Amino acid sequence: MGFNCGASNARLNRPAQSGCGSWCSRYNNANQWIQADLGDSISVAGVQIQGRADYPQWVTQFKVQYSNDGSSWTFVQQTNSEGDMIFDGSTNQNTVVTNLFPAEVTAAYIRIVPTAWHGHISMRFELVGCEDDEMPTITGTPSAITTNTDSNSATAAVSWTDPTASDNSGAVTLTSDGTSGSNFPIGTTTVTFTATDPSGNQATDSFTITVTDLGETMSVTGVEIQGRADHYGQWVTQYKVQYSNDGSSWTYVQQTNNEADMIFVGNTDQHTVVTNLFPAEVTAAYIRIVPTAWSTHISMRFEVLGCEGIKDVVLATCNLWRRCCGSTYDLLPTPANLSVWYEDKTHYCCNDCGRKGTLQHILSACTPALADNRGNPAAS
């Protein structure tokens, strides 16, 4: 039908120009078709057709095929999939005939296949789209992840399996603001996945990553407490002690033979230092004092007894204090063992020295950071 009757002339309501007012097939047989490439998978609800604008030629019946890959094609079916749907077409050159599908289809390509015609297979057409307001679906989002920091690091490498996304369009893009295998800082981070379909509909789903700082664990043997220092008569009279290695899971210091939580006797005035040793030392990164009884108001000052490398600290203290071993004493290359507590439970001593250094001096080198459950800053 001429060079100018190609598919570029197939737009609905195209006027007659350059000698051709529509798309015209080269042959008049049942093997002819015209195809629209939609660029992406979208919802299509039907088609509109016209005849040729400049000659009395039109399609009277047609079928419609659709595809998402341009290779595998499916005919639009009758209701209940009883057979290929045959649509009624034009009865003249210019009247727009609209045919809706029994059910919308999702396709990247639409092909119109004429099955009957008047004069010649000639047509103009447009697709009828439908607004896609159906949200994509995200499945398989990881559950919350809790982990500890990597060795000698303030972060942790965290890996997971990404979820999958699906959509009625058959085409969906899944993005995330976090990448599996990346390093995450101490604290809680929310990772969000976003699924977007060709119509711009978006769905999100997320999970949390909590990185806990284990910190430095150390041996803790007890606590010392005092009441409030100013003119208020306030102190804690009884308390329990909890310990933890991650700041999340806590264990109470137990009585001998783990019979029950240990309840320690506290202060009877504001200023007296009361020392309580645990039945057995614990290894912990965090120590929590839980008051159970008090005078007037819960108020206290405290110190933790024991610290990492206490033997080395004591030995260094002996070296600094020549009074411990005498001015001629030198430490051995290998640290000596720390002896048992003295009977009064307030001093350590060095086996090699035979004399004792005050606990206050020893602990001044290794006092841990202190904080309470109200978010108050560390005590000095």
| Three-state helix/strand/coil letters over the chain | CCHHHCHHHCECCCCCECCECCEECCCCCCCCCEEEEEEEEEEEEEEEEECCCCCCCEEEEEEEEEECCCCCCEECECHHHCCECCEECCCCCCCCEEEEEEEEEEEEEEEEEEEEEECCCEEEEEEEECCCCCCCEEECCCCCEEEECCCCCCEEECCCCCCEEECCCCCCEEEECCCCCCEEECEEEEEEEEEECCCCCEEEEEEEEEEECCCCCEEEEEEEEECCCCCCCCEEEEEEEEEECCCCCCEECECHHHCCECCEECCCCCCCCEEEEEEEEEEECEEEEEEEEEECCCCCEEEEECCCCHHHHHHHHHHHCHHHHCCCCCCCCCCCCECCCCCCCCEEEECCCCCEEEHHHHHCCCCCCCCCCCCCCCCC
Angle at 186 between CA 180 and CA 191, to 5 degrees: 35
Q: 305 falls in which pLDDT band (50, 70, 90)? A: confident
Q: Are residues 125 and 14 in the same domain?
A: yes
Predicted confidence (pLDDT) at residue 83 exceeds the cutoff of 60: yes
- Which of 165, 158, 134, 285 is closest to 211 using CA atoms? 158
Q: Which residue has the higher pLDDT, 340 or 241?
A: 241
Assess if residue 372 is contained within a domain.
no
Residue with more model confidence, 16 or 206 = 206
Domain-embedded: residue 21:
yes
Of 335, 263, 276, the C-alpha closest to 306 is: 276
Co-location of 270 and 225 in the same domain? yes
**Do 344 and 265 share a domain, yes or no?**
no
What would the pLDDT profile of 165-223 be if each residue is shown by its tens digit? 998 766 789 999 999 999 998 888 999 999 998 778 899 999 999 887 766 778 888 89
Residues 226 and 324 in one domain: no
Domain boundary among 270, 302, 334: 302
- Residue 343: the pLDDT is 30
Q: Which residues pair with 6 in a beta bridge?
A: none
The number of C-alpha atoms within 13 Å of 351 and in the hemisphere containing its C-beta is 9
CATH at 151: 2.60.40
Shared domain for 38 and 113, answered yes or no, is: yes
CATH of the domain at 252: 2.60.120.260
In this prediction, residue 215 carries a pLDDT of: 64
Domain for residue 380, yes or no? no
Choose one of 254, 269, 302: the last residue of a domain.
Answer: 302
Which residue among 212, 247, 271 closes a domain? Answer: 212
Please tell me whether residues 239 and 317 are part of one structural domain: no
Higher pLDDT, 301 or 169: 301
Pairing mode, strands 145-148 and 202-212: parallel
Confirm whether 375 is domain-assigned: no
The answer to whether the beta carbons of residues 15 and 93 sit under 8 Å apart is no
Residue 117 counted as domain residue = yes
Confidence of residue 351 (pLDDT cuts 50, 70, 90): very low
Does the residue 204 lie in any domain? yes
Question: The pTM is what?
Answer: 0.39
Separation between Cα atoms, residue 339 and residue 333, nearest integer Å: 18
Cα distances (Å, whole numbers) of residue 102 to 96, 105, 344? 19, 9, 93
Overall average pLDDT of the 238-255 stretch? 89
pLDDT of 352 > 50? The answer is: no
For residues 200 and 288, membership in a common domain is answered with no
Cα dihedral 8, 13, 14, 20 in deg (nearest 10): 90
> Taking all residues of the chain, what is their mean pLDDT, rounded to a whole number?
79
Digit-coded pLDDT (tens) for 306-344: 744 344 444 444 444 333 334 333 332 233 333 333 233
Residues 72 and 24 in one domain: yes
High-pLDDT (> 90) share of the chain, %:
47
User: Is 377 inside any structural domain?
Assistant: no
Phi, psi dihedral angles at 90 (to 5 degrees): -80, 160
Boundaries of domain holding 114: 3-129
Domain count of the fold of the chain: 4
